[in-house]
């Protein structure tokens, strides 16, 4: 029960990040940099309290995978935060949740996994769902959006996150917690020169409210949320983790409706269900097939 509470809490925190990012008076890259810096610092401090040591040798052995995946995490944040600026949080979140679909599409090539009929149907359903969302904007109180651009940024973020998922499959002898700490540190280091040359890192005009929101994103949405997630991973089965992870996009849509009066048309809702539901039902059916509870034809 404790593990479920930890995971649900983490998913609710992740689902609320868009509400905070949209109110920060900084560029997407600056927010991503500060998130990585504060979040990685929090997790490093937390590692001492939970006696989680980082294996230097294993880090060296996986250096290039950690470097590439860390950089991908940093730019994944930038694209996601940029998506929030061009479209609704609902559209951004659902587009971002295309990441598992990208993983399914690339797994036969990279992981040599079989592309089953269930997965093919899932990919087609997700594609249809994306089409329905792209062609139907969505509204927000007082918001002027360019939904196509925002959804494109969301998909770019999803693509980068999918690459992180796939690269993590090849990382050896490091726990999920250790991997995340190193990746967040690398994301911060990689983003530092990028932000310096792009935005000149001028934080002089940042207001008190933005500073407060940045601290929340760094400490709560990164440090605490990741800490709770990996604590839950140790206690829960993979199927439970997969099912409860859908709280993230659902809560994001609900919170966006409450705080920003965002609304989705019936067509968009159907599109969202197709995207999120495609991976959910794939996981369920694949599990049933493996247990022999469903006979494949």
pLDDT digits (tens, 9 = 90+) for 158-174: 999 999 999 999 999 99
State how far Cα 5 lies from the chain centre. 20
Single out the residue of 158, 160, 151 nearest to residue 99, CA to CA: 158
What SS3 class is residue 139?
strand
Tokens coding 44 = 């490093």
Q: Which pLDDT does position 295 carry in this prediction?
A: 42
The band of 52, judged by pLDDT with boundaries at 50, 70 and 90, is: confident
Q: What is the mean pLDDT of residues 38-53?
A: 89
> Which residues are bridge partners to 182 per DSSP?
none
Distances (CA, A) of 130 to 95, 98, 190: 7, 9, 31
Indicate the pTM of the whole model. Answer: 0.89
């Amino acid at each position: 029960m404790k593990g479920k509470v930890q995971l649900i809490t983490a998913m609710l925190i992740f689902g609320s990040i868009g509400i905070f990012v949209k109110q920060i008076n900084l560029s997407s890259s600056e927010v991503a940099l500060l998130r990585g810096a504060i979040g990685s610092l929090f997790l490093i401090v937390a590692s001492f309290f939970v006696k989680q040591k980082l294996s230097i040798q294993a880090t060296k052995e996986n250096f290039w995978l950690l470097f590439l995946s860390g950089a991908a995490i940093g730019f994944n944040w930038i694209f996601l935060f940029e998506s929030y600026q061009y479209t609704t949080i609902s559209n951004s979140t659902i587009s971002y949740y295309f990441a598992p679909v990208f993983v399914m599409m690339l797994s036969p090539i990279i992981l040599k996994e079989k592309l089953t009929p269930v997965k093919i149907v899932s990919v087609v359903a997700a594609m249809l769902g994306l089409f329905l969302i792209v062609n139907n904007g969505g509204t927000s109180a007082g918001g002027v959006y360019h939904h196509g651009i925002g959804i494109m940024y969301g998909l770019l973020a999803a693509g980068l996150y999918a690459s992180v998922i796939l690269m993590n499959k090849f990382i050896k002898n490091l726990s999920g917690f250790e991997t995340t700490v190193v990746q967040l540190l690398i994301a911060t280091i990689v983003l530092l020169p990028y932000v310096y040359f792009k935005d000149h890192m001028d934080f002089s005009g940042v207001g008190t409210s933005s500073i407060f929101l940045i601290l929340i994103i760094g400490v709560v949405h990164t440090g605490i949320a990741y800490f709770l997630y990996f604590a839950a991973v140790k206690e829960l089965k993979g199927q439970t983790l997969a099912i409860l992870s859908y709280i993230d996009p659902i809560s994001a849509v609900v919170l966006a409706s409450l705080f920003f009066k965002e609304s989705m048309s019936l067509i968009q809702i159907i599109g969202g269900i197709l995207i999120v539901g495609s991976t959910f039902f794939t996981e369920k059916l694949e599990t049933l097939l493996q247990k022999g509870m469903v006979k494949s034809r």
